[in-house]
Amino acid sequence: MKPAYLGIDFGTSGARAIVIDADRQIQAQTSIKFAASIAAADLAESWRTTLFQLIAQLPAELRSQLQSIAINGTSSTVLICDCQGQPIAPPLLYNDARGATALDQVKAIAPPNHTVVSATSSLAKLLWLAEEREQGTGRREQEEDSRSRNLSTYPAPHFLHQADWLSFLLHGKLGISDYHNALKLGYDVGELRYPGWLQRASIPFQLPIVVAPGTPIAPVQVDLSERFGLPTDCMVCAGTTDSIAAFLASGAASPGEAVTSLGSTLVLKLLSEARVDDSHYGIYSHRLGNLWLVGGASNTGGAVLQQFFTAEELQSLSQQIQPDRPSPFNYYPLPKPGERFPINDPALSPRLEPRPNNPVEFLHGLLESIARIEAEGYQRLQQLGATALTQVYTAGGGAKNAAWTMIRSRHLHVPVLPSAQTEAAYGTALLARKGREEQGTMRKEKM
C-alpha cells in the first residue's frame, strides 16, 4: 500500500484538503468555500460539517492509504467547550476585536509589549470570554445556569484554538494544542511552558496542553475510521496556523531562507538560528523545531497597487517595464498613513509624488519602491540578529509578476524564486508526513 498524508487548511474564506505521497507529490485536493454569512452560533457546527465533507470528497482509495492527518486553522480563532468538547459559546474569529475591552486586563498580567497585548490575540479573546461568562451574558451559559448557579462545582470549560478543536473531532483527546497556535495565548515557546505570569492569573478555563506542531496525538476515532474508510492506525498529528503552514509549503527549509508574501500587504518571514522579538517594529518569532521563523509585516503592498491599476493593467503594464533599469522614483506606497515595519512611524504619510504621466513609469516606481521596502525589512531583521538572507521564495498575488521579481532580486542581492507550493494545506500535509515518519523512527529506536 502506498502511504498518503492529509493536510487540512481552515483559512479565512474556505477550507481545503491536500493529500501528498511519500515523495511529497500532491495526489488529490479538494476545497469548500465558506458561506458568505454564517451566524456566529452556527460557526463551529459549520466547521465540523466542512471537515467531514472535505474528507468524504477525497477518493476512497487514497483515504484507505492515509497514514496521518494534520489540520491548520487561522491564528487566534478560538472557542470554549465543555468536557465533551461541545462548544458552549460561539467561536471568536481571528479578526474579532471584541477582546479590546479586555486589553487592560491583558496588560495587567502580561509583560509590557508582549505579543498577547493586542485586541485580537487569543489571550485577549480568552479574557473577554471569561468576562462575558462572569456577567452571565454568554448565550449558552444562561441555559446552563437555569440548572445550577454554582459553576465552581463543574470542571472548567476548555479553551481551544480552531485547529485544536477540529483535531479533537478526529482523535477525541480534548485539550491539546501546538506551540504555533499557542504563541498568541502567551505560551512561552522558548521555555516550552506556560509562563509564570499566565499560570498565576486567575483564568476560569482549562488551558490546552501544548506540544510541537506535527506531534502524533492519537489514531483517528474508530467511528470515523469506519465511516470514511481510514486505516485504524491513521494518526492525527498536532496542527499549526495558516500562515506557518503556507511558509512550510514554500520549500524554505534552511536558515537564511525566507518567504515574502506579496498580497494586500507585504509580509516577510526569515528562517533564522537566532530568535528575534521586537515589539517596536511588530517583529516576533515562531519556533520551528530548533530554528526560529522571524516575521515582520509592512502596510505597503498590493492594496496600494489596486488603488491605481486593475489586475489586467498590472499584468500588461508590468510587461512594458525594463526591470534592469532602476526607476528614479522613490515612493513610500501606503493605503493610509501609518507604518510599523521596517520603519515604525504611526503617522508616516504615503509618499506617491511626483507622479509621471506615463503609467508604466509610475508602476515601475511603485514596484521598485515596494522592493526597496522589502530589502529594508530583511535588513532590519538581520540587524536585530536574524541569520543572513540567502534566498527568497515568493507567495501572494505579486509572485507571478516577472518584472517585479527581477527588480526585487536587484534590491535583495539574493536569488528570488516562486514558492514551490503556496497552499497552506500542502504545508500542513508535510507536517502530517513528518509527524508520522518521526513516529516510525521512534518506534524502531525503541525496538
Binding site for ligand ADP (CB under 6 A): 263-264, 302-303, 305-306, 311, 314-315, 318, 396-398, 400-401, 404
Please state the closest distance from residue 16 (CB atom) to ligand ADP, in A.
14
Give phi and psi for 317, each to the nearest 5.
Answer: -70, -35
Nearer to ligand ADP, 311 or 388 (CB): 311
Nearer to ligand ADP, 34 or 205 (CB): 34
Nearer to ligand ADP, 292 or 404 (CB): 404
Q: How far is the C-alpha of 9 from the C-alpha of 96, rounded, in Å?
A: 20
Give phi and psi for 375, each to the nearest 5.
Answer: -65, -40
Please state the closest distance from residue 239 (CB atom) to ligand ADP, in A.
21
- Do 107 and 95 contact (CB within 8 A), yes or no? no
Query: Is the C-alpha dihedral spanning 290, 421, 265, 372 positive or negative?
Result: positive
Nearer to ligand ADP, 213 or 302 (CB): 302
Find the helix or strand (DSSP H, E) in which 295 lies. strand 291-298
- Do 387 and 423 contact (CB within 8 A), yes or no? no
Please state the closest distance from residue 267 (CB atom) to ligand ADP, in A.
8
Please state the closest distance from residue 398 (CB atom) to ligand ADP, in A.
4
Nearer to ligand ADP, 315 or 320 (CB): 315
User: Which three cell numbers, joined as nine digits, stand for 206?
Assistant: 482549562
**Number of residues in the chain:** 447
SS3 177: strand
- Nearest residue to ligand ADP, by Cβ distance, number only: 397
Please state the closest distance from residue 75 (CB atom) to ligand ADP, in A.
14
Please state the closest distance from residue 309 (CB atom) to ligand ADP, in A.
8
Please state the closest distance from residue 301 (CB atom) to ligand ADP, in A.
7
Place of cell 534566498: 391
| Distance set, CA 164 to CA 30, 96, 171, 179, 335 (Å) | 21, 18, 10, 11, 35
CA angle, 319 then 322 then 323, to 5°: 95
Q: How far is the C-alpha of 234 from the C-alpha of 247, rounded, in Å?
A: 25
Nearer to ligand ADP, 186 or 365 (CB): 365
Nearer to ligand ADP, 5 or 10 (CB): 10
Q: How far is the C-alpha of 116 from the C-alpha of 129, rounded, in Å?
A: 15
Give phi and psi for 255, each to the nearest 5.
Answer: -55, 140
Nearer to ligand ADP, 414 or 424 (CB): 424
> Among candidates 11, 84, 1, 3, which has minimal Cα distance to 54?
11
Q: Which residues have C-beta within 8 Å of that of residue 299, sequence separation ≥ 6?
A: 265, 266, 334, 335, 336, 338, 339, 340
Please state the closest distance from residue 241 (CB atom) to ligand ADP, in A.
15
C-alpha 14: how far from chain center: 14
Listed in sequence order, the DSSP H helices in 210-310 are: 222-228, 242-250, 302-308
Nearer to ligand ADP, 151 or 303 (CB): 303
Please state the closest distance from residue 399 (CB atom) to ligand ADP, in A.
8
List the strands of the sheet with 266-272, edge to edge: 284-288, 291-298, 266-272, 257-262, 391-395, 416-418
Nearer to ligand ADP, 189 or 268 (CB): 268
What are residue 188's DSSP bridge partners? 193
Please state the closest distance from residue 332 (CB atom) to ligand ADP, in A.
17
Please state the closest distance from residue 317 (CB atom) to ligand ADP, in A.
9
User: Which three cell numbers, joined as nine digits, stand for 401?
Assistant: 509578476
Nearer to ligand ADP, 87 or 396 (CB): 396
